[in-house]
Amino acid sequence: MNLQDLHKPFPANAIHWRVGSTDKSKTRGLALAYLDARNVMERLDDVCGQENWQDSYTETPTGRVLCTISINVDGKWVAKSDGAGNTDIEGDKGGISDAFKRAAVKWGIGRYLYALDSPWVAVETYGKSSKIKDTEYEKLAKVLNGGKVPDTKPKQASRDDFEAFTNGLREQGDLDCLDDFWTGKSDELEAMPADWRATLFITFMEQGCSIAESLDGLQAFWKAYFTGVKALDAEDKDALTGKKDKAKERLTGPLANGNSNHIQTPLDAG
C-alpha cells in the first residue's frame, strides 16, 4: 500500500462543480470543484483495500458532524478527522458526506482541488439556490488542465454610468416607481465602486423622503430598507459610515419640519 497514491488527481469526469458566492444579481457565481463521496470511497478501496480503512462519526453539542477516517498502516490504525455542519440541501446526510470528504482531504484525497482556479461563471436560479449554466462547462474543463477562465464579473462602471443612475433616481415621481427603478438596476449597482454605491443609496433614500405623500408612506419606506442596510457587505457599510450624519439630516429634513428624532432612518442600522 502506497499512501502517496491517495494524492493522485481524479479523471476529469469525476470532478463536479457547484456555485459558491454569487453577485447581487444572482447571474454570476464562483465555480467550486468538488468530489462525490463515492469517488473518495473508491480511492480508499483501491489504494488501501476494503479491509484496511474505516470511518466513524460523532456529533458535537452544536450539531457539527465529525468524521474520522482510519487506515491500517503496517498493522497500526492511524486516524485523521475533520468536520462539517449540515447542508441546506440534504441536512444530516449532507453534513455526514461533507465531513467524510473533509477528513479524506486530511489523507490527501482531492486536496489538489483546493489549488484550482475558482472562476466567475454564468449561473441561473435552481430552486432556492443557483446552478452553473451548461454553456460554462467547456470553460471549466480548461481549469482542470491548468488553464484560466476569463473573469465574467461585471466591468467597473464609468462616471457617466453613475451620473445616469443618479439622474434616474431623481426622476422618479412616486415611491412605487422609485422602488421598481432601484430593484431593477441591481446589475448596474453591482458594477459601481463602494463609495458610489453608498452615494446612490443615500440619493435613493433622499428621493423617497422628498416624494413620500404621507408619514405612513415614509415610515413604510424606511422599514423596507432598514432591514436591507443590515445585509450590506462590510465595504458598503464602511463607505456609508462617513456620510451618516449628513445623510440623516438630508433624508429626514423634507417631512420632519426640523424635528427628525421621531423617525428612525436606515442609516441608523449598524
Q: Report pLDDT digits (tens) over 205-219.
A: 777 777 766 556 656
Q: Which helix (H) or strand (E) holds 65?
A: strand 65-73
Which residues is 80 bridged to in the sheet?
69
Predicted local confidence at residue 181, as pLDDT? 84
Lowest model confidence (mean pLDDT) among 49-53, 92-96, 154-158, 242-246 = 242-246
pLDDT higher at 155 or 10: 10
Predicted local confidence at residue 244, as pLDDT? 47
Average pLDDT, integer, range 8-23: 88
pTM for this entry: 0.52
Q: What is the mean pLDDT of the chain?
A: 77
pLDDT higher at 254 or 137: 137
- The phi, psi pair for 84, rounded to 5°, reads -155, 155
**Percentage above 90 pLDDT, the chain:** 25
Predicted local confidence at residue 232, as pLDDT? 58
pLDDT higher at 128 or 133: 133
**Percentage above 70 pLDDT, the chain:** 69
